[in-house]
Structure 1
Amino acid sequence: MLRSGAGRLYKGVVRAVDSLITDGPTITTLSSHQLSLSINRQSRRPAPRSTSSANAATRVPTALFHSESYFSASPPEFPSSVGHPDPLKLERFLPPLLDIVLNAQNEVQEALFTAIQQLDADRSWQLYRQLGKSRHSLSTAVIDLLITLQCRIPVRSSPANVIDSRAAVRQVCDRILSLCHDRLRNQPGSSSRAITSANEHDGLSTLPAALSLRLLYLLIIEEEQVAASKSRRPSRRRNSLSGILSTLSANVDARHEPGQSPIDFELRGRLAASLSRLGATDAAYRHLELVVKPAACPSANAFIDPRPFDQLLSALAKQANTSTQAVQHLPSPVDSTSNTIKEDDPIIRALRLTVSYEISASKANIHRCLQALDSVTLWWLLPFELDSDHSHGASSATHQPDNRLSLKQKWHPWQISADQPTISQESLDSFAERVALVLAQRGILQPALHIVDGLQVTHQGNNFQSETQSTRKIPDHDFFTVVLEKLAERMASSFDSDARSSLDRHRGLSADLHLAFKVYTTAHAAGVDLDSRLNLAVVNVLASCLPSAVADLGPSRSRHTKISAQLARRNEEHGSKQALKQYLRQFTTMVLGSDPDLSKGSLSYPAQATLLGLHMRTRDYSFSKRLYQPIRLRDSDRELWSFDPKAGSLQYAALHPLSAPDRDAFTWFFAESLRFSAKTVFAVQLHLDWIASGNVMPSSLNAMFVRSLLRAGLIPVVRRVLHELEVDRSLLPARLARSLVVSFAEAGYPDLAMELVVNVSQLTSPTYLSQRGKVDKHAASGSRDTWILVSTLKLMSVALEHSSKAPAAKDGELHRKVLRLFEEFRLGLTHHLFINMAQSKDASQAQAPTAVSLRDVRMAYNACIRASLSGLPTSFRVSEMTDSSDPDVSWDTTESTCLHVEELFNELRDLGVEPDDDSWNLQLTSSLHACFAAPDQAGRTEWLQKALSLFEHASKQVFKADGPLHGSEHNSSALDTFRSASENDDIHRVTLHPAVVAAIIDASRCCRDLESGLRVYELHQRRNGFNVHVEKARLTLLADLAEPRECRTELQRLTQQHKSAFRHSDRFMKHLHMLSCAAHNTGPR
């Protein structure tokens, strides 16, 4: 007889079940010494079958089993060894092992009971399955113990016990459910026929509570894993899983006092979520009721997980959408149809539970549930109703829009229930907004408009003042968006009907337009007007009023609208055009006030095109210009006035053909720009946009354009256009001029590029000199001239940079042109610094002076240094040069050039511009040229030491990539601040070119300075890593000045690590061998 003593600690089944009130695992250990004694005793004295019940009973010491709470911070009573952490510590709801006497009837049962005694769940399951049909003779207690062992199998993966958690959960659940089925079969008085006809859940209803709780927990985990994988397996158990979960939860709840169920707050919520996903929404609702009832105060509701409620609402909405019953939409809120409200409807119950306890459920799920209800029920859910003073005669006037009827407050049906908690006004208002949103989507706008009226936002002209008497929250942007979209649809549909085209229709449109702006001003005051859909709806509302408000729409009127021009002209005489213009101005002012450059996406490009066309159709030049400028800046590469449908122009992007900015609209716009603007800058912009779109300016407009330019007393048109565009700080001329300069320079014609810049500088120089003495008196003119000078300097730096890098840069004449252009750049830069100093000292100058950037100045100085060095010999070849002297270039020329480069380098630093990578590389190249060209060894050594000093200094330097030039003191202090802020992305560390580093090492070899060359190599290797040119220079240095063995060792190491770098270096290898042999007076073998 084998006897399990695991339950003695709990003194029987009752104590064991009571222990499950604590939410924690049971941790079980077994002494290997005691276990081996019992096993050895049985193996030495096998008992015959006849006496197995008398001599095969043993007991597992009960002190080896103990329980520890999962959330307990105290150490366990019997801690496991340090090297073998117990995986059961991670498990929850582990059932205890009960005190059960095991009587083996045969050897097979004896083996099974031995496995049970050893707590071997897998072995006991295998032996149980091997029993075949004889397993039906086992007692229920044995099967309970087998179920207990399976329940105690770890299913959580941990560093000490890495397992496939999903497979483990599925295996344990399969085993337990199979054992439960056998348990029902093995009950006294049961038969196979009765088992077949019985409910498959009957075997679970009598399962002990501790086992039911663990099985419930595991089945919930399995369902969650399957739901998370989004690949539901078509299994029989999943189809009946909701019934299994309900049976197990009822089994656990039935054996405990109310309020003391071991199914805790969190697990019951997960159970409700699983039941919702399985379609058992009624059971899920009952469990959620148990979840929220302990929450006695609103502060406790914050700890309730909203996800189970979301799952329930989502499941109910899905069930409603798949049902065959059609949703009844109420045609009008004054409909006299009397429908009975089903308060016990699952959706209404779930919504009431969610709202009553202020659960933060998803608004999308609430919205889907509300969409499944009929309109009568939605009206019943609102906290207001039709005013009785106006509702009597409403049925006879159903043709009127529903928003013309007033509403009044009422007691909400959920507020007058005594058995439910009090619903806060904020929750009720938020829920009413969701209900009104669904009704608005069905075209019933009255509740939504009533809510907007409750916000009490008043507007006076273009000034808006919010007067909110209550603390209610502002609705979301989708609430306003739906209302405006439905208003736009209603206004647009009025033109499709065959109703009388009279003044009544225009009055209805005007009333709807007023309502739309009432909603939009509320949204604008609430700060939710940056939604593109909301603004698009307002644009559609305005476009719907255009055919009846404006008469002059051109020949396209007859093609796109049924409203006659005569009717529109009559409305225009009564002020319709002026009223529409005011609404357009009001809307544009609010949009640009929130999004001045349209960079926040408040208006889509089609909405921008339509709104611009509406301003043009109402002949509002100032607001057309105000809106057109950010549009052209946002889409500078777009052909705005193209007549190609695929170009995405304004005309083809507009939402309505009558509101599209077409050729006629542009003709009016351009003519007005010449007539109203004191300056022709905007007209020049329109001219360039029109030409860039592939159009030809009409001769009449060209004549007006030329007359306007001559009337202003300007010089030839091309210069005037460039000048006005630079004063306007437009991006187009800067890009155009830069692209021209770069194209000429890179195509091999740098002289033409420089001539272009010289022409620009000649144009601006007299203007600057004429205004030089009037800077203090005419601040605006000074600022304009400063901008022109800055633009010229930028173009000059671009020309210098690309010209110095051109293949023909070594030409002597071109070299002189570059130096002359640099002198003009330096002179202009001096003037610019003087202007900035004067403006910074003048306290009356509030605006910041326009500054040349650090990149522009650095590019110009680097270009001059590069051009100066181009007159020296060709760049030295690393590691192969023995004598770099050039008979065509004297030492005096080289020395003077290097000293000039040094002066330019120091001058750049004096300006407050830190040298960049190119600056340091060029300066080091200049010193190396002097080192290799020096007439004697002393001169070479002197220049080498200067190069080494520059190299070490450059390795520690950082520079700011770009920014305004403010002078040496300001920039040096700013750079010190930036050096301390290493996280600034605009600060870069100086990186020297590997060819320059290799040349320094080679110069050290020529000067017989092994130590300096190796120091240069180590510093470069530490900062930049491997480079084949630097490695070859070092190998050459070692071959010439170090021991042969050291060179051979390094060469062997490098060829092994970087085989590809030295694969085709036979000539280099021969050169190394020759140097090594010459250095040690040993000839080649």
Structure 2
Amino acid sequence: MLRSRAGRLYKGVAKASTTAPSLLFDSQITASTSYRHLTSSSAQPRPRHHPTSSASLATTALGQHLFGAAFHSDSYFSASQPDFFPPDKSQNTSSFNDITSPSQSERYLPPLLDIQLVAQNDAQQALFDTIQHLDADLSWHLYQQLGKARLSLPAPVIDLLITLQCRIPVRSTPHNIIDSPAAIRQVCDRALLLSRDKERCQAGSSAKPFSSANKHGLSTLSAALSLRLLYLLVVEEEQIAASRSPRPAPRRKHLCTILNALSTNIDAHPHFAEQHVDIKLRGRLAATLSRLGSTDAAFRQLQSLVHQASPSDQDLFIDPRPFDQLLSALARQKVPTSRRSEFLPSPLDLMPSTVDENQPILRALRLTLSAQVQASKANIHKCLQALDSATLWWLLPFELDGSPNGSGQLPDDRYPLKTKWHPWQSSADGHPISQDFLDSFAERVALVLAQRGTLQPALHIFDSLPTSTDSSDNELHPSTNVPDHDLFTVVLEQLAERMSSNTVADAPKSLDTHRGLSSDLHLAIKVYSIAHSIGVDLDSRINQAVIKAFSSCLPTAIVDLGPARARHTKFKSHIAQRNEQRGSRQALQIYLRRFTGMILAHDPDLSNGSLSFPAQATLLGLHMRTRDYTASKRLYQLIRLREPTRVLWSDDPQAGSLARSALHPLAAPDHSTFMWLFAESLRSAPKPFFALRLYLDWLASGNTLPSSLIAIFIQALLRAGHTTIAQRVFQELQEERVWLPARLARSLVASFAEAGYPDLAVEMACTAAQIAAATTSFQRPDADADRSSYDRDTWRLTSTLNLISIALDRSSRIPSQQHDADLHHKLLHLFDEFRLGLTHYLFGTLSLIKRDDAPQARITSQVTLQDVRMAYNAIVRVRLSAIMDGEQSLTSSGGQKPSMATSAVESSRSHIEVLFRELTDLGVEPDSDSWTLRLTTSLHACLEAPTRAKQQTRMDESLGLYEQASKQAYRKDGPLQPLVQGSSADRFNALTPIEEEPLQVRLHPAVVAALIDACRRCSRLESGLRVYQLHMRRSASHVQVEQARLMLLAALAEPQMWREELERLQSHDKFAFKFNERFVRQLEALSDATGPRSASSATR
């Protein structure tokens, strides 16, 4: 068959072999020493050569190397690999390997003649003696020394000399290493010169170059000598062709004459030719003649080859390479005389004409098909391209069906085709072409016609496939008879080109154009679905053709094409709007999704090269134009996976972005399609991972997001915790001056602060407050301009203070391991800014109250108690964290605590007490966090006291703070009152009444447990029990408090008491505490250690 999945038309096209130098040379060629040592056994008549005789192989490595180099000629074949190499079934099968495999015996050696040699002089006697000793080289030299006297030798003597020269071994063996090409050239030159001398023509000119073949001289050679010389000439030409050496046309013609004469000599003896000339040698001779340009002689040799091959021998394989050489040579001969363009015009040249079946290309094609040779598709394609379209239609096994004007009607895709009887299906020589081969050949013809714009034959082949071609059927079963990949490729490319040319249309024909584009798109998807279902290789070329077809439908199917519509299409937007209302966009989306699904089914990650980057960009743009978010997201992720370093959204022409690389300007992903994809990614997914990927790619391309999308993006980032990316977005906010809602601003500040960027959080707070104040109206109908300006400034100040307090609170709650000196200084500086702003606010409010009446002196925007309390608690928390971290760093290297650490603790305690009093002076009651932090500071100072007396003093202060905190209450929130004269109690009484009840201060259980444990360490056991009793009156039981109490009971040297209490806690009904074994062992160790100490104290 001609059909083969291996190879494509645009790969591996066979090329003509170049010419080589002449056969004969003026200089003498000296043979190796082995030529002169022919034994008598080697001179015996050689048994009759049979084509199926096998060659013995060398067993040594050197022999294998030499055998591989001997008589090897790649140029015997086509320059490209054939489509099919048959397996070696047995040694009895006819294959080219049998004839080219190295052998220890020479091929086609002529038998020695048995003649009586009578010398006429001493020179002849010396020559005859040498001949009798079978010394070919010495006899040749003695023959040359005779000069003109050699022409007087009898013809049998010259025949014996020719036989002796032809029997010279020219094949390397492990025991006889020779230069095979030089040996072959020498034998051929000597034999041809002796043949010329045999005719007694041009006496005395034997030393001159042999310029042309003498037919009479060659015609007198015997069949055996002709066969040997023919074989050697073929091998020599193959070796010269393999070296691609240039050869003039006269020398090629000269060699053709010699080969034809020798072939005629052999064929003149049918019995000899039948026994000794096999089909492989005829194939090699035909290939040689084709390379030399003698196509008629090559055709006759192939005819003899086909006739010689037995049709009944099913194992016989006819090598396709001689046929490929003939087809390639015929195509090269036809091209210069043909009308040469990219493709011949079609259907302009389809007028009825008489087809000459005897033209060389048709004869060669028919012979190839009748021989059932696996010929190269590329060579057949070149031959078909050299024919006109009328001849191509004649070669098809089907014709038009339903044409109203009969056979004279030009082809049209609207008319179907029907099967017809073809003349090649019957043959007078008994070699008809099978229907299977004829159908395969029809595919090659349909391919050439499709390249010329006639798609009917190819579409008929697709429709006749034994599979369901319904475009809605996804369950197609693959067929064994699969058309070639090239046929699908050319058809889809022609459809895409036709659709692209139809987009240049006038307004009155726009509806017809849309219908035509829709019909062609449906046809393209149908052809692609067939190719996908039967397993055709869907490479980038096929996929790109379909993508171009999709792009041609955009102007008439989709309205929103951005500014590119006016630049790249003549179709009006109202036409596309009418089509889109009728479902054109949905139909295009369905086709695109189906097409992309078929691509990804074969290439899930686009790593097999099914789509080039321009095709990927165009397909992504098509999905985005049709508003298919799912497909757009999947394809974009694959593109980013395959192109991690490419700048996708740049406007730089040299960047190779999506827009610049697309195959069609209307299908290119541009700014408008990106904005749709980005907004859709924020709405469609709970986590903005894909939106974040888009945003980073957008920024990397040198672009900025519009203000309408930045706020939505910030909200999504804050919900997902992407604070680092929010910093970059914040820079965009500063440049674009985007207004943010209050909730969004607080969330943004909190996120920045929690990430350890309080300065950026405050910067964000100031920017947000400034932008909000600039875009908010504070004008009152009954107020002057100064009051409106004051309201604006106050609103901005209070908003900033609120956001700063949030930043301080969130930053102070960062784990101590993440604290560094830089963050500590930032927070201290930030608190100073807060105090300064709070001072401005309080004095401004007081001046306003003094100027206006009290009932009307209501501030539109006020700082709340919670804002002030959060800021002060945050800075106390920072100071306390600094104390603990600083002390740990100072004592980590050694066990001693330097005075520096003690002084730092005292300084920080004093500062925290000042802050606590300052908070109270502002009229803000400390809450539970405030008292917890103050007590924690006092306990830390107690435990770090340098002396025992100082420690007891600090312990008394801590117990006093605990009792004081247990009695305190506070109001959770409310407006901060301005500074007035009087005591703190007077300011508290002046506060605006709040409906909610005051909240009781509740210290954190961990601080209570730490206080009980500190009492144990300071030997204040009774005080520790009192702390526990006071805590249990107002709070529920807690595991840390209970553990501290158990340690206290163990320290009292009463083991029975703490054991009973431990069992009670572990078996409690409402809550059962679980203490690990390590804690129980600590209790036992502490009880054992305090027991002896208590006993010794009682003794004293």
TM class, shorter-length = 0.5 to 0.7
Q: 1:420 to 1:487 in 2, by over 3 A?
A: farther
The residue identity in structure 2 corresponding to 1:219 is L
| Contact 1:680–1:708 (8 Å) recurs in 2 | yes
TM superposition score normalised by structure 2? 0.56
Q: C-alpha offsets along residues 26-61 of structure 1, whole Å, 9 cap, x if unaligned?
A: xx99999xx9xxxxxxxxxxxxxxxxxxxxxxxx99
Q: Which has the larger Rg?
A: 2
Structure 2: tracts of 5 or more residues without a match: 1-33, 57-62, 68-101, 730-813, 820-890, 894-1100
Distance (whole Å) between structure 2 residues aligned to residue 343 and residue 587 of structure 1: 44
Q: 1:405 maps to what in 2?
A: 415
- Say which of 406, 410, 431 aligns to 2:441: 431
Deviations 1:280-327 (A, max 9, x none): 111111111222224444763751111111111111111111335669
Q: Secondary structure at the match of 1:466?
A: coil
**Cα deviation digits, residues 313-349 of structure 1 (max 9, x gap):** 1111111113356699886569872211111111111
- How far residue 465 of structure 1 moved from its aligned partner, in angstroms, is 2.5
Please point out which of 323, 328, 331 is paired with 2:337: 323
For 1:203 and 1:322, the matched residues in 2 are separated by 37
Deviations 1:45-80 (A, max 9, x none): xxxxxxxxxxxxxxx9999656486876899xxxxx
Structure 2 equivalent of residue 173 of structure 1: 188
2:571 maps to 563
Taking a change above 3 Å as real, the CA distance of residues 418 and 275 of structure 1, as seen in their structure-2 partners, is same
**What is residue 442 of structure 1 aligned with on the other side?**
452
Question: Secondary structure, in 3 states, of the residue corresponding to 1:385?
Answer: strand
Decide which moves more: 169-178 or 61-70: 61-70
Equivalent position SS for 2:699: helix
| 1:514-663 pair list within 5 angstroms | 514-663=522-671
Query: What RMSD, in angstroms, separates the aligned Cα atoms of the two structures?
Result: 3.8
> Match of 1:90, as an amino acid?
S
Match of 1:511 in 2: 519
Q: Residues 318-397 of structure 1: matches in 2 within 5 Å?
A: 318-323=332-337, 337-387=351-401, 389-392=402-405
- Say which is worse superposed, 597-606 or 230-239, in terms of deviation: 230-239
Three-state SS of the structure 2 residue aligned to 1:502 is helix
Question: What per-residue deviation string (whole Å, max 9, x for no partner) do you get for residues 211-238 of structure 1?
Answer: 1010000000011001111113448543
Residue 173 of structure 1 and its aligned partner are, at CA, apart by: 0.9
- Letter of the structure 2 residue corresponding to residue 106 of structure 1: N
Q: Return the letter of the residue paired with 2:463.
A: D
Q: After superposition, give the CA deviation of every residue in 1:71-126 in whole Å (9 maximum; x if it has no partner).
A: 76899xxxxxx9xx9x9942100111101222222222222222222212122222
Are the equivalent residues in 2 in contact too, given 1:592–1:598 (CA < 8 A)? Answer: yes
What's the secondary structure of 1:482's corresponding residue?
helix
Letter in 2 for 1:390: S
Does residue 694 in structure 1 map to residue 709 in structure 2?
no
Letter in 1 for 2:163: T
Structure 2 residue identity aligned to 1:537: A
Aligned counterpart, 1:157? 172
Is the contact between residue 226 and residue 263 of structure 2 (CA under 8 Å) also seen in structure 1? yes
Amino acid aligned to 2:442:
A
What residue number does 1:670 align with? Answer: 678
**Mapped partners of 2:164, 2:425: distance in 1:** 52
Aligned-partner Cα distance in 2 for 1:375–1:461? 31
- CA shift in 2, pair 1:185/1:713, >3 Å: closer
Secondary structure, aligned partner of 1:90: coil
> Is this contact kept in 2: 1:29–1:65, CA < 8 A?
no
Deviation per CA, 1:233-272: give whole Å up to 9, x if none: 4485433111211111110111233872521121111111
Superposition deviation, residue 691 in structure 1? 2.2
Residue 271 (str. 1) matches residue 285 (str. 2): yes
Distance 1:214 1:595 in 2: 57
1:254 to 268, 289, 295: 268
Task: Using the TM superposition, give the Cα deviation of residue 475 of structure 1 relative to its aligned residue in structure 2, in angstroms.
Answer: 0.9
Q: Aligned residue for 1:466?
A: 476
Match for residue 426 of structure 2 among 407, 416, 419 = 416
**Cα deviations by residue, 1:756-782 (Å, 9 ceiling, x for unpaired):** 99979xxxxxxxxxxxxxxxxxxxxxx
Deviations 1:659-715 (A, max 9, x none): 1111111111101111122321211111122223333333322212012344x4757
Could you say what secondary structure the match of 1:566 adopts?
Answer: helix
- State the SS of the aligned residue for 2:464: helix
1:114 pairs with 2:129: yes
Superposition pairs of residues 913-1062 of structure 1, within 5 angstroms? none
Amino acid at match of 1:160: H
Counterpart secondary structure, 1:282: helix
Structure 2 Cα separation of the partners of residues 681 and 437 of structure 1: 48
* Amino acid of the structure 2 residue aligned with 1:105: Q
Q: Secondary structure at the match of 2:149?
A: helix
Contact 1:333 1:402 in 2 (8 A): no
Secondary structure of the structure 2 residue equivalent to 1:240: helix
Contact 2:451 2:494 in 1 (8 A): yes
Mark the CA change 1:648 to 1:713 in structure 2 (over 3 Å): closer, same or farther.
closer
Is contact 2:614-2:661 (8 Å) kept? yes
Q: What is the Cα deviation at residue 129 of structure 1?
A: 1.8
Query: Structure 2: how far apart are the matches of 1:116 and 1:700?
Result: 107
Contact 1:383-1:432 within 8 A present in 2 as well: yes
8 Å Cα contact 1:112/1:124 also seen in 2: yes
> Which is further off, 508-517 or 488-497?
488-497
User: What are the Cα deviations for residues 886-908 of structure 1, in whole angstroms up to 9, with x where unaligned?
Assistant: xxxxxxxxxxxxxxxxxxxxxxx
Does the 8 Å CA contact 1:530/1:600 hold for their aligned counterparts? no
Distance in 2 between residues matched to 1:66 and 1:257, nearest whole Å: 17
The 2-side partners of 1:290 and 1:311 are apart by: 16
Tell me the amino acid that sits aligned with residue 132 of structure 2.
Q
Name structure 1 gaps, 5 residues minimum: 1-27, 36-59, 76-81, 723-754, 761-811, 815-1085
CA distance in 2, matches of 1:356, 1:715: 74
Which shows bigger deviation, 245-254 or 327-336?
327-336
Question: What SS class does the counterpart of residue 464 from structure 1 fall into?
Answer: coil
Matched AA of 2:437: S
Shift in Å at residue 497 of structure 1?
6.6
Matches within 5 A, 1:199-238: 200-234=214-248, 237-238=251-252
Conserved? CA contact 1:173–1:219, under 8 Å? yes
In the other structure, the counterpart of 2:874 is: none
Q: Which of 148, 154, 163 does residue 133 from structure 1 map onto?
A: 148
Q: Is the 8 A contact 1:95 1:210 kept in 2?
A: yes
Aligned to 1:517, the other structure's residue is in SS state: helix
Q: TM-score, normalised by structure 1?
A: 0.56
Deviation readout 1:497-541 (Å, 9 max, x if unpaired):
779542111111111111111110000101224311000110111
State the 1:632 CA deviation.
0.9
Q: Which residue of 2 aligns with 1:783?
A: none
SS at match of 1:402: coil
**Alpha-carbon distance between aligned partners in 2 of 1:73 and 1:412, rounded to the nearest angstrom:** 43
Partner Cα separation in structure 2 for residue 373 and residue 549 of structure 1: 41
Aligned residues of 2:532 and 2:598 also touching (Cα < 8 A): yes
CA apart distance, 1:562: 2.2
Identical columns (%): 59
Structure 1 residues 499 and 432: alpha-carbon distance in aligned structure 2, compared to 1, 3 A threshold: farther
Q: Give the total of aligned pairs.
A: 659
Q: What is the rounded CA distance, in whole Å, between the counterparts of 1:325 and 1:461 in structure 2?
A: 40
